[in-house]
Amino acid sequence: MALKKEKPAKLYYSISEVAQMFDINESTLRFWEKEFDVIRPRKTAKGTRFYKQEDIDSVRLIYYLVKERGMTLAGARQRLKENKDSTVRQEDIIHRLKQIKEELLSMKEAFDNIDPKE
């Protein structure tokens, strides 16, 4: 998951774009929307969903609890209810560390590709 928490390039994202960000199915996003009231994408009259950055941040937090920490949906819901602030901080730290790791691996790869004869 390589989602960056910088300024959003767009105001709204489609369900397919958000699903690709987290490598999950669109049906998973629709299901999580029913299970977690923190995900509230804007819907058109036809039912097309548009996610704002705050929705994406909520999806990222739920993804962390369910997919990375292996919690059940009920466990994740309880954790967010009882201890949301510390969970957000913990997920943010882990997210930043993953970004640093990716950057360091990229630098290592670039360094490994340098020809010492040059």
Q: Is residue 104 part of a domain?
A: yes
Q: What is the pLDDT, as a whole number, of residue 112? A: 84
**DSSP H/E element including 88:** helix 73-112
For position 28, which CATH number holds? 1.10.1660.10
Does residue 117 register a pLDDT over 80?
no
Comparing CA positions, the residue from 82, 104, 103, 101 lying closest to residue 93 is: 101
Q: Is residue 118 part of a domain?
A: no
Does residue 2 register a pLDDT over 80?
no
Beta-bridge mates of residue 43? 49
**DSSP H/E element including 14:** strand 13-14
For 75-90, write each residue's pLDDT tens digit.
999 998 888 888 888 8
Task: Give the pLDDT band of residue 92 (cuts 50, 70, 90).
Answer: confident
Q: What domain range includes position 28?
A: 13-112
State the average pLDDT for the chain. 88
Q: pLDDT: is 111 or 8 the higher one? A: 111
Q: Is residue 117 part of a domain?
A: no
Q: Is residue 1 part of a domain?
A: no
Mean local confidence (pLDDT), 47-74: 93
